[in-house]
Amino acid sequence: MKVFLSVDMEGVAGIVDWAQCLAAGEDYALGRDLLVGEVNAAIDGAAAAGATQILVNDAHSVMRNLPPQRLGHRAAYLSGRFKPLYMMEGLDESFDAAVFLGYHAAIATPGVLSHTYNPRAIADVLINGVTTGEAGLNALVAQHFRVPVAVITGDQYVGPEADPFCPGVRHIQVKRSISRYSALNQHPDVARDLIREGVRVALKNLPSLAPPRILMPATIEVRFTSPDMAEQATWIQGVSRVDPVTVALTGDDPLRLHRCFITLVYLTRSLIESY
Ligand SMILES: [Zn+2]
């Protein structure tokens, strides 16, 4: 069994502030420690279910948040920036399941540290009219390679947000968001136990899980934080303006849709103001 772990950070138990999950933050060392604990719990759960190959794709910020030598079961580690498939880089049709670890709520939701790829550029994203976070966008890649998404971990919002795009995905809730900057967290040991056991059970039940089946052709709508970002987005072929701050793209190739969305993320970075 081959298992793919897409690892974000904001959804890890104990993490409630950017200071804990950005390299320049004064509490980043603590955040990394909490993160590697949950990643190893997922690795242990996958191994207990029979996984023989595990790939960890670091999908947070500059994407080198994990100390490779601390990863359990000799898991391979895909790290570093500018990956074409971003949070899903490394996935292909040879994998049996994907796990989304440490995920956070969509920008349109009051979950802790909520955002959708870029909080300073993107105000909302909808797939076929349904608001989605990163899980739904990443499900497009899983759909292309026909790999089921078995588990998502994070707060109380991430599971329900993933449901419309990741059929049968198992939710592991390790904290309850109170506001965008506070949460009631499980103790790290409890969170790790929940993840280890949840991943094991989900992967044991793999035959009952189907890959994502987002209806194609699909339409992705992206609402930006400023009209000039929406204008810039229309420079990409196939992207059309819906209103001053919103664009839409439609297509029947899930991988192409994902790539186009990622291009929007990279392109609009140039217009983000620093104050
Ligand atoms: Zn992140």
User: Residue 270's pLDDT band (boundaries 50, 70, 90)?
Assistant: confident
pLDDT at 43 > cutoff 90? yes
pTM beyond 0.85: the answer is yes
Ligand 1 center to 60 CA (angstroms): 4
pLDDT in tens, 99-135: 999 999 999 999 999 999 999 999 999 999 999 999 9
Please state, rounded to an integer, the average pLDDT across all residues of the chain.
96
Q: Which pLDDT belongs to residue 272?
A: 81
Which member of 115, 144, 171, 258 is catalytic? 115
Q: Which pLDDT belongs to residue 275?
A: 66
Q: Which residues have CB less than 5 Å away from ligand 1 (the ion)?
A: 8-9, 60
Ligand 1 center to 61 CA (angstroms): 6
Residue 115 falls in the annotated catalytic set: yes
pLDDT in tens, 57-97: 999 999 999 999 999 999 999 999 989 999 999 999 999 99
What are the DSSP calls for 13-32, one per residue? TT--SGGGTSTTSTTHHHHH
Ligand 1 center to 21 CA (angstroms): 8
Q: Can the peptide bond before residue 217 be classed as cis, meaning omega within 30 degrees of 0?
A: yes
User: Do residues 152 and 171 lie in contact, with contact meaning Cβ atoms separated by under 8 Å?
Assistant: yes
